[in-house]
Amino acid sequence: RELTGEVEFENVDFGYNPDKIVLHDINMYAKPGQKIAFVGSTGAGKTTITNLINRFYDIQDGKIRYDNINIGKIRKPDLRRSLGIVLQDTHLFTGTVMDNIRYGKLDATDEECIKAAKLANAHDFIKRLPDGYNTVLTGDGSNLSQGQRQLLAIARAAVADPPALILDEATSSIDTRTEAMVSRGMDALMEGRTSFVIAHRLSTVKDADCIMVMEQGRIIERGTHDQLIDMKGRYYQLYTG
Ligand code: DGT
Ligand code: MG
């Protein structure tokens, strides 16, 4: 790997259009391998921050550094290849399960794809499909359950072996057993990688190295779960409902 997964934001301001700033003076630092979680009400700016980690947009002011390199100077396609993204709605295309996993790293061998599927906890369900890894998926993956689609998304990210990851936790209801499978796959994927997690359930952010509480485009509180509970502020309110 070229990058270790160290990510730093320094005084970052951002607006989708320059007249309306939606992120104000964001400062954060993630050591390689740390898990950073974002919580906060709808419209607070969680997805926007992760869009910026990917450099999908140019920032108005400040710096975003990867391993001490200001990534404003790196061409975006290079960077995107170095990051893993597991989104809520993974795009699956018409093709085999194997090819859908391989999409994470186009020159991956079958063995690498299977190894990634095992890490993602997806291997067992794939083996039970009519044609295993050669099963053809419909364009939107509608012949799989939502949980199975998520496991494939994790496998796809794992095959790329990225130093940093962005995980957008699903809001929609999957059953408890599937959820446990998905979260085991997620945990295996996050191991040893810097992870930015947008969590919709506070129970899944408890073990984060740092939880960022966002409101109206600002980080208003940060710390571990225990620290934030002791603070008895916004996080405490969210947590205790
Ligand atoms: P969520 O997903 O509903 O919990 O909310 P967040 O925290 O992910 O919020 P986010 O980052 O999607 O939105 C922050 C602000 O930015 C909010 O005022 C809506 C605005 N915004 C988000 N995406 C876009 C976009 O693509 N274009 C424009 N013009 N504004 C956007
Ligand atoms: Mg969002």
Higher pLDDT, 163 or 124: 124
Which residue has the CA at smallest separation from atom 28 of ligand 1?
A: 16
Range list of β-strands (E), 31-171: 35-40, 61-66, 69-70, 83-86, 95-96, 136-137, 164-168
Q: Which of 40, 4, 35 is nearest to 196 (CA)?
A: 35
User: What pLDDT is stored for residue 130 in this prediction?
Assistant: 95
pLDDT tens figures, 61-103? 899 888 887 775 555 555 555 666 666 567 888 999 999 999 9
pTM > 0.90: yes or no? no
Is the pLDDT score of 176 beyond 90? no
CB-based contact 85:32 (threshold 8 Å): no
Task: Write the pLDDT tens digit of every residue in 197-211.
Answer: 997 777 778 999 999
pLDDT at 219: 98
| pLDDT value at 1 more than 90 | no
The two counts, helices (H) then strands (E), for the chain are 9, 12
Q: What is the pLDDT of residues 3-16, one digit of tens each?
A: 788 999 999 999 99
What is the 47 CA–ligand 2 centroid distance (Å)?
A: 4
What is the gyration radius of the CA atoms in the chain, in angstroms?
18
Better pLDDT: 37 or 176: 37
Choosing from 46, 54, 88 the residue with most ligand 1 atoms within 8 A of its CB, the one to mutate for a pocket test is: 46
Instruction: Please tell me the distance from the alpha carbon of residue 109 to that of residue 124, in angstroms, as a whole number.
Output: 19
pLDDT at 172: 60
> Which of 70, 124, 126 has the alpha carbon at shortest distance from 97?
126
ipTM: 0.98
Q: Which ligand is nearest to the CA of 42?
A: 1
Q: pLDDT: is 24 or 55 the higher one?
A: 24
Instruction: Compute the distance between CA of residue 120 and CA of residue 116 in angstroms, rounded to an integer.
Output: 6
d(CA 236, CA 130) in angstroms, rounded, equals 48
